[in-house]
Structure 1
Amino acid sequence: MKKITLFVVSFILAYSNIFGQFKYLNNVSKVADHPRILLLKGEEQAILKNIAKDAHWKNLHRLIIDESNKIIPLPTLERIQIGRRLLDKSRECIRRVFFLSYAFRITKERKYLERAEQELVKVSQFKDWNPSHFLDVAEMTMGVSIGYDWLFDDLSDASKKIIKEAIITKGIEPSFDEKFNGWLKASHNWNQVCNAGISYGALAVYENDENLAKKVIDRAIESIKLPMEDYKPEGAYPEGYSYWGYGTSFNVMFLSAIQQVFSTDFGLSETAGFLKTAGYLQNMVGNSGKNFNYSDDRIGTGLNPAMFWFANRTRNNSLLFTEKQYLQKQENSMVKDRLLPATMIWGKDINLEKIVEPKQLIWVGQGKNPVALIRTSWSKADAIYVGLKGGSPSVNHGHMDIGSFVMDANGERWSMDLGMQEYESLESKGVKLWGMTQDSERWQIYRYNNLAHSTLAFDNEFQKVEGYAPISSFTENSNFLSATSDITAVYKDKVASANRGVAIIDQKYVVIRDEIKTVEKETTVRWAMMTAADVKIFENGVAELHQNGKKLQLKVSEPNNIALKTWSTQPTHDYDAPNTGTTLVGFEVKIPANTSTSLNVLLIPEGANVNNKQKILPLKDWKK
């Protein structure tokens, strides 16, 4: 197998050399000596200078050093797969090697070098890096390559030989095997992660086989354009907050590395929407401190190193308003981020004292999974936040969550999303998780269909996978911040039209308005909101939600005399995750054939004074 792979690589290189195959690197003749990836020799001084003058940077540096000290006594990694993945070992390799290599370069203490060398040699001697799940290979290659490059002058010759051979044979060569490299044509996070990881390998061993290295990097520059196109037009990332932290971070690792080596990123960062995507990530976090975790996303936020690259690249320090708050908290959980040392590199020229609060209160992005993200303030404790999602269930990692919304008020999340279920918990039970057709088993998973989201269902049926909902309009008036979405396509054959709008009125309360027109058949619409609050139902369409000593009123103003109810969120399949502490609250309405109906629901935070006589305008008038 190895001989065949080597033959294929040699043939590709020989053939392409004859015809001058390099689209981007033909004029590259020499690269810098080691270290050449991300941080050149001598650039440590800029980091040290930043540490000396700013307590935030000093504290983050100390956090990395302290964690490096904790890594030293740990046993080296073993090649133990979990299901079909070796990914947790690959990620831990990056974390350990990146932290230890940073610690050595900044402090020059050999204990960090020696421990990193042990890890590098051990993983390099694994039988393989699991190419059947190529993310595992990509991340392992990146981790090993950072260590090889950053520690090159101080590693023993014997270790360098073992590590170099592993990068080439276990990292780069499998990337040319068509059984493993389908990611080259993908437009999602696999493309970004795999191209970044294998390119790091090529940069690390560049002088050993310049043609091979150029082939890898040239291929990556062209291939990575595919997922970067998905940031158009405003930067909304189709796979959501958590996968932004994965795909975009590795995309930035790639851009930063090639910019450092070749003094250009070959125009990639100028791709429409890409430099705007930091605004997406920043606005995806509500005033409760929780992210809008739609699709296969987890609840959880924290410092994101890539945001410092974007802030530096765009010269927009307001992008770091939330990141500075994370730095101030100095939570120990930050050391779980395997890319954390990159923050010290991308932030070395940033003065954190000059970071200002963002002015924008609404952020709207179209694309494959459009979102509207609205808030009344970035800093007030009683601020309101609403996120509305359009898009399609067919997007990579998608759920049937079109029209779903989250809502924060008084520091609490009232309307929520359950988010993802761990993949291995489903795959290990034989669930065919990755089918994306209408009849796929994926949609039987409780958390994945629209019956478990804060959106609509007609006759308790699933949304249509092929449907797509744009953000139709939005308003920026501070007393009427709103967005609407035409969600008709995901309810094809059930309704003639369905449009949803969310608005924050007078910075006091939220309105969710749905306008529905039926086809020549009656239907029952279910309006539901997922919540972690305790729910108390009253008459006349009123419910009171209680959470952490705070209250919110849910009030149905149209239709009149609605009977609210709750539904259990405990699924019936043995493979489903429990949803302890959550409830669905809402109502059902039967709508006759060929009828137009409006549903108005008010979410009123505790302490808000609402004018009950205020008329809720039709959605067509929300554009004004």
Structure 2
Amino acid sequence: MYSKRLLLTTSSLLLLLSVVASAQNEPITPATKLPDHPRILLLKGEENAIKKTLAADKTWKNVHQAMLGECDRLLSAAPVERIQIGRRLLDKSREALRRVFLLAYAWRMTQQKQYLQRAETELLAVSAFSDWNPSHFLDVAEMTMAVAIGYDWLHNDLSPASRSAIKAAILKKGIEPSLDPKFNSWLKATHNWNQVCNAGMTYGALAIYEDQPELARTIINRAIDSIELPMEDYAPDGAYPEGYSYWGYGTSFNVMFISALEKAFGSDFGLSLKPGFLRTAAYMTNMTGPSGNSFNYSDAGTGGGLQPAMFWFANKLNDPSVLWVERGRLLSAGGGTYDKDRLLPAIMLWSNGIRVTDIPEPKSRIWVGDGKSPVALMRTSWSDPSAIFVGLKAGSPSVNHAHMDVGSFVMEADGVRWAMDFGMQDYNSLESKGVKLWGKEQDSQRWQVYRYNNFVHNTLTVNNELQKVDGNARIARSANNPQFMSATTDLSELYKGLLNKASRGIAIVNQNHVVVRDEIETPAKEATVRWTLLTSANVTITGKNRAELTKNGRKLVLQVEEPAAVTLKTWSTDPPHEYDAANPGTTLVGFEVTVPANTNTPLTVLLLPEKAAGQTSPGVQPLAQWPK
């Protein structure tokens, strides 16, 4: 036993020395000053600024009270247990982070000892785990962040024995595994794993800095260097490659990381100025429709949620309008709806005294962003709950967490999401049944999962084949014309070998209806093209080229303008495999058309809300003539 432990310690030391030796131009040096505890996110005495915010704004007070109420419920809850689900301990790490962050916040704001004692109980419980599951390092990262916040914020009030046990867990179960190449491939990742893991390790390093200064500096400097990799993916415009839900994960932890650096060292070492990073706030603002639901392409969940990190962005940009969606969520629900958000206390740290009711609506009604997953997001109003909203996605199925949804769109009007996206399926529900979910080859099993391929997205399917994984599409042009707000994309690479050319344009016309126009060019053989729209509305076919969608007492007409000889139909969304999730209450509606060889064919579809009843578009122009 002793010799094994000595070997592990020696190996860790060699790894550490290797990291130290390779470091160059380190931002954090032995001369760098660091505040005393508490030093992570909220320094001693900064509670007073939050208290002033609470006194001046009823909405913030409601959020604060909701957090305290949740802490009161936690007082009688059993501590988190080490119960692994499949390959993940992640739900336990996340719950520990939620509990510790809330309880530590409650202690610092109220000085009521029951919160201190309950947080200490939680910290000691997770510190006693055998490990934090380094084989799935997100689990370690979030647990380390949880324990680091608790250790730092409660440091001066914990017993010496508790401090010793918690500090040892941060070092042995958090930081040291990150030095092992078996567990730290995320250092080279360009996606959310890098952001989350570097944030977690940095929090651990900040918490025990005075006890392990050389190691802590190594970890923090490593993180500052490594996290630039995923931050490059925000360029040029801020469109986050992995979509809404993973923005809420990767970007939020990236902000937690930068905010901790700023508080501890007075600098973010230039990270927030990386191209596109600050612009991502506008992306996130525009990703939510009037219904409150997000554009949930790729591995995203349905619905939407409060994003505390947006308040950090608003402060950086000096632009409170990016908080318009957060304003709506806070005013409609207070904080009680969001007390399951493990980062919720951070919203109070970043609120910066802004009155929620003073947040103005954004000026522009269209946002277009290039990048690995380009998007165009359009609406007729920010304040009208009945406004039309359209989101169009380009990009590639090869992007991390992407689906075969290139060219897909969502559409809302009259408070109803008429054109929808299923989003992700729970990973463990697939992995536990042996599905090889993470392959990205053309013949990967990932693309057999019903929700992940193009057959069930609001895009085109050609000859009943999958989109090409290595295909890519950009937003070709866009126009912010109130009478013809539009965006177009060239989908040709997604159908290579099946079509010579495929282009899609979507426009909000006269602020009262939507046009979807596709232009297809076939090669020297015919092609069968299927056009589909996924909806949770009731669908009634009322004519060969016309269908009525009804939901929540509202109606939308889907009308095919061209080609003339089409017959609308519906398809069931019952999944083909036993591992697929069920999709109750949903329908695919659309049409199939066989396009002769060497032919150019337009497909023009109108989506007509009730206010546009009887609307026709006799002059929908070719995409080349759409405005720029």
Structure 1 length as normaliser, TM-score? 0.98
Contact 1:22 1:214 in 2 (8 A): no
Q: Which amino acid aligns with 1:90?
A: S
Contact 1:231 1:277 in 2 (8 A): yes
Counterpart-to-counterpart distance in 1, 2:25 and 2:208? 18
Q: Which amino acid aligns with 1:469?
A: A
Residue in structure 2 matched with residue 495 of structure 1 by the alignment = 499
Counterpart-to-counterpart distance in 2, 1:491 and 1:623? 26
Q: Which amino acid aligns with 1:514?
A: D
Counterpart-to-counterpart distance in 2, 1:461 and 1:350? 52
User: C-alpha displacement at 1:12, in angstroms?
Assistant: 4.2
Instruction: Give SS of 2:396's match.
Output: coil
Pairing 1:141–2:153 present: no
Aligned pairs for 1:104-115 (under 5 A) are 104-115=107-118
Counterpart-to-counterpart distance in 2, 1:19 and 1:290? 46
Residue in structure 2 matched with residue 327 of structure 1 by the alignment = 330
Indicate how the Cα distance of structure 1 residues 410 and 28 shifts in structure 2: closer, same or farther if over 3 A, else same.
farther
Instruction: Give SS of 1:504's match.
Output: strand
Counterpart-to-counterpart distance in 2, 1:17 and 1:425? 42
Q: Per-residue CA shift, 1:207-256, capped at 9, x if unaligned?
A: 00111000000000010001000001100001100110000000000000
User: C-alpha displacement at 1:147, in angstroms?
Assistant: 0.1
Indicate how the Cα distance of structure 1 residues 582 and 274 shifts in structure 2: closer, same or farther if over 3 A, else same.
same
Q: Which amino acid aligns with 1:246?
A: Y
Contact 2:327 2:357 in 1 (8 A): no
Counterpart-to-counterpart distance in 1, 2:55 and 2:152? 26
User: C-alpha displacement at 1:302, in angstroms?
Assistant: 1.9
Residue in structure 2 matched with residue 222 of structure 1 by the alignment = 225
Instruction: Give SS of 1:275's match.
Output: coil
Contact 2:199 2:254 in 1 (8 A): yes
Contact 2:571 2:588 in 1 (8 A): yes
Pairing 1:342–2:353 present: no
Q: Per-residue CA shift, 1:366-402, capped at 9, x if unaligned?
A: 1001000000001113210000000000111110000
Instruction: Give SS of 2:157's match.
Output: coil
User: C-alpha displacement at 1:179, in angstroms?
Assistant: 0.7
Indicate how the Cα distance of structure 1 residues 496 and 17 shifts in structure 2: closer, same or farther if over 3 A, else same.
closer
Q: Per-residue CA shift, 1:131-155, capped at 9, x if unaligned?
A: 0000000000000000000000000
Residue in structure 1 matched with residue 599 of structure 2 by the alignment = 595
Contact 1:284 1:291 in 2 (8 A): yes
User: C-alpha displacement at 1:79, in angstroms?
Assistant: 0.5
Q: Which amino acid aligns with 1:500?
A: R
Residue in structure 2 matched with residue 439 of structure 1 by the alignment = 443
Instruction: Give SS of 2:378's match.
Output: strand
Pairing 1:471–2:475 present: yes
Indicate how the Cα distance of structure 1 residues 28 and 615 shifts in structure 2: closer, same or farther if over 3 A, else same.
farther
Counterpart-to-counterpart distance in 1, 2:473 and 2:155? 51
Counterpart-to-counterpart distance in 2, 1:5 and 1:520? 65
Residue in structure 1 matched with residue 271 of structure 2 by the alignment = 268
Aligned pairs for 1:420-569 (under 5 A) are 420-569=424-573
Indicate how the Cα distance of structure 1 residues 613 and 282 shifts in structure 2: closer, same or farther if over 3 A, else same.
closer
Pairing 1:152–2:155 present: yes
Counterpart-to-counterpart distance in 2, 1:102 and 1:16? 35
Pairing 1:116–2:116 present: no
Contact 1:6 1:173 in 2 (8 A): no
Aligned pairs for 1:399-414 (under 5 A) are 399-414=403-418
Q: Which amino acid aligns with 2:545?
A: G
Structure 1 stretches of 5 or more lacking a match? none
Counterpart-to-counterpart distance in 1, 2:500 and 2:319? 44
Instruction: Give SS of 2:165's match.
Output: helix
Structure 2 stretches of 5 or more lacking a match? none
Residue in structure 2 matched with residue 607 of structure 1 by the alignment = 611
User: C-alpha displacement at 1:611, in angstroms?
Assistant: 4.5
Counterpart-to-counterpart distance in 1, 2:207 and 2:229? 25
Q: Per-residue CA shift, 1:446-478, capped at 9, x if unaligned?
A: 000000101000011000000000000000011
Q: Which amino acid aligns with 2:123?
A: L
Equivalent residue for 2:92, pick from 89, 92, 117: 89
Equivalent residue for 1:298, pick from 293, 298, 301: 301
Residue in structure 2 matched with residue 211 of structure 1 by the alignment = 214
Residue in structure 2 matched with residue 33 of structure 1 by the alignment = 36
Counterpart-to-counterpart distance in 1, 2:165 and 2:331? 41
Residue in structure 1 matched with residue 378 of structure 2 by the alignment = 374
Residue in structure 2 matched with residue 622 of structure 1 by the alignment = 626
Counterpart-to-counterpart distance in 2, 1:19 and 1:130? 27
User: C-alpha displacement at 1:558, in angstroms?
Assistant: 0.4
User: C-alpha displacement at 1:614, in angstroms?
Assistant: 3.2
Contact 2:541 2:548 in 1 (8 A): yes
Counterpart-to-counterpart distance in 2, 1:613 and 1:78? 61
Indicate how the Cα distance of structure 1 residues 394 and 223 shifts in structure 2: closer, same or farther if over 3 A, else same.
same
Counterpart-to-counterpart distance in 1, 2:352 and 2:394? 38
Indicate how the Cα distance of structure 1 residues 611 and 553 shifts in structure 2: closer, same or farther if over 3 A, else same.
closer
Contact 2:52 2:353 in 1 (8 A): no
Counterpart-to-counterpart distance in 2, 1:156 and 1:363? 52
Residue in structure 1 matched with residue 134 of structure 2 by the alignment = 131
Counterpart-to-counterpart distance in 1, 2:388 and 2:430? 36
Counterpart-to-counterpart distance in 2, 1:312 and 1:223? 25
Equivalent residue for 1:51, pick from 45, 54, 62: 54
Aligned pairs for 1:177-326 (under 5 A) are 177-326=180-329
Q: Which amino acid aligns with 2:60?
A: W
User: C-alpha displacement at 1:289, in angstroms?
Assistant: 1.5
User: C-alpha displacement at 1:328, in angstroms?
Assistant: 1.1
Instruction: Give SS of 2:508's match.
Output: strand
Counterpart-to-counterpart distance in 2, 1:210 and 1:460? 60
User: C-alpha displacement at 1:3, in angstroms?
Assistant: 3.7
User: C-alpha displacement at 1:348, in angstroms?
Assistant: 3.1
Instruction: Give SS of 2:390's match.
Output: strand
Instruction: Give SS of 2:528's match.
Output: strand
Q: Per-residue CA shift, 1:415-440, capped at 9, x if unaligned?
A: 00011100010011001011110000
RMSD across aligned C-alpha pairs, in angstroms?
1.3
Equivalent residue for 1:396, pick from 394, 400, 409: 400
Counterpart-to-counterpart distance in 1, 2:480 and 2:214? 53
Q: Per-residue CA shift, 1:318-354, capped at 9, x if unaligned?
A: 0111111111122523001000000000003323343
Counterpart-to-counterpart distance in 2, 1:569 and 1:126? 43
Indicate how the Cα distance of structure 1 residues 518 and 56 shifts in structure 2: closer, same or farther if over 3 A, else same.
same
Contact 1:5 1:173 in 2 (8 A): no
Instruction: Give SS of 1:538's match.
Output: strand
Indicate how the Cα distance of structure 1 residues 344 and 331 shifts in structure 2: closer, same or farther if over 3 A, else same.
closer
Counterpart-to-counterpart distance in 2, 1:306 and 1:15? 35
Instruction: Give SS of 2:245's match.
Output: helix
Q: Per-residue CA shift, 1:555-597, capped at 9, x if unaligned?
A: 0000013210001100121000011000000000000111100
Instruction: Give SS of 2:124's match.
Output: helix
Instruction: Give SS of 2:611's match.
Output: coil
Counterpart-to-counterpart distance in 1, 2:349 and 2:418? 38
Structure 2 length as normaliser, TM-score? 0.98
Contact 1:34 1:150 in 2 (8 A): yes
Contact 1:564 1:587 in 2 (8 A): yes
Q: Which amino acid aligns with 1:601?
A: V
Q: Which amino acid aligns with 1:47?
A: I
Count of aligned residue pairs for this structure pair: 624
Contact 1:508 1:610 in 2 (8 A): no
User: C-alpha displacement at 1:275, in angstroms?
Assistant: 0.2
Counterpart-to-counterpart distance in 2, 1:580 and 1:19? 55
